[in-house]
Amino acid sequence: MSLRDQVDINKLPKHIAIIMDGNGRWAKEKGKLRVFGHQQGVLALRDVVEGAVEIGVPYLTVYAFSTENWNRPKVEIIALMELLVATINKETKILIENGVRLNAIGDLKQLPSKCIKQLEEAIKKTANNTRCTLTLALSYSSRWEITEAAKKIAADVKAGQLNMEDIDEKLFSSYLTTADIPDPELMIRTSGEYRISNYLLWQLAYAELYFTSKLWPNFRREDLFAAIIDYQKRERRFGMTSEQLN
């Protein structure tokens, strides 16, 4: 039986978050520049998005550029931004054909204006698609996001628009960049690293974590299906006992 057939489509995670790691190492193994790894990473992303749509995963969020990535060599940052613009330009049509709505989270104003424009256009063009929401985390970090949410809440309390007593987990979530998206139920990280790296720290509170040694450019939809099958074998207890769940 193929991996695709082993996925129980009645028990799919609603939201899968991915840390696409290992592009640089993949390129190095091949004696190529790091940017070549990122280019191949785009092919992996396309296949994974199509795989998610194929089986019916409604939300997919990928870490495309972290706040910390601004510290990379300038030449790599420029290459990544150019790749982002070219990819969005090229892939928007494919996203529309697949019914994918594009979304972006992060400190987007830090991106080059060309990127922001391209992103805004693609988000607008795909706004009515309903099969899957693909969120790109760009210039994103959780600590930035949580700090921003705290600032906005404080400002609303100060302005008399919010009572301090009304601040609870639900309200806090509504101030995050993911306010309209359910929390991820599965988080996948490639390349054999066992870290969260400042990614969706609040939202991953109850997510199942899946780590694979595969480098991101080698990751394909079958690997996504394997991660989902693994997730479906797990017992999610949310702090309760097995007996309570049964």
Binding residues for ligand FPP, rule: CB under 6 A, are: 20-25, 38, 41-42, 45, 64, 69, 83-84, 87, 136, 191, 216
* Residue 243, Cβ density class (10 Å: 0-12 exposed, 13-18 middle, ≥19 buried): exposed
Say if CB 122 and CB 95 are below 8 A apart. yes
CB of 46 to ligand FPP, least distance (A): 10
Please identify which residue in the block is written with the tokens 């997510």.
207
Nearer to ligand FPP, 122 or 149 (CB): 122
CB of 82 to ligand FPP, least distance (A): 10
Residue type, 141: S
Spatial strand order of the sheet with 186-189 comes to 100-105, 132-140, 59-66, 15-19, 186-189, 208-211
The residue among 50, 163, 167, 63 whose CA lies nearest residue 97 is 50
CB of 83 to ligand FPP, least distance (A): 5
CB of 123 to ligand FPP, least distance (A): 13
d(CA 47, CA 61) in angstroms, rounded, equals 14
CB of 66 to ligand FPP, least distance (A): 7
Q: The tokens of 199 are what?
A: 């990614």
Q: What is the DSSP letter of 194?
A: -
Is position 21 annotated as part of the catalytic site? yes
d(CA 214, CA 19) in angstroms, rounded, equals 12
d(CA 209, CA 190) in angstroms, rounded, equals 11
Nearer to ligand FPP, 20 or 153 (CB): 20
For residues 81, 126, 206, 48, the Cα torsion angle rounded to the nearest 10 degrees is: -70
Nearer to ligand FPP, 42 or 53 (CB): 42
Nearer to ligand FPP, 24 or 51 (CB): 24
Nearer to ligand FPP, 142 or 175 (CB): 142
Q: How many helices (H) and strands (E) does the chain have?
A: 9, 6
Residue facing ligand FPP at closest CB distance: 24
* Residue 24, Cβ density class (10 Å: 0-12 exposed, 13-18 middle, ≥19 buried): buried
Active-site hit among 10, 23, 47, 69: 69
* Catalytic residue numbers, as ranges: 21, 69
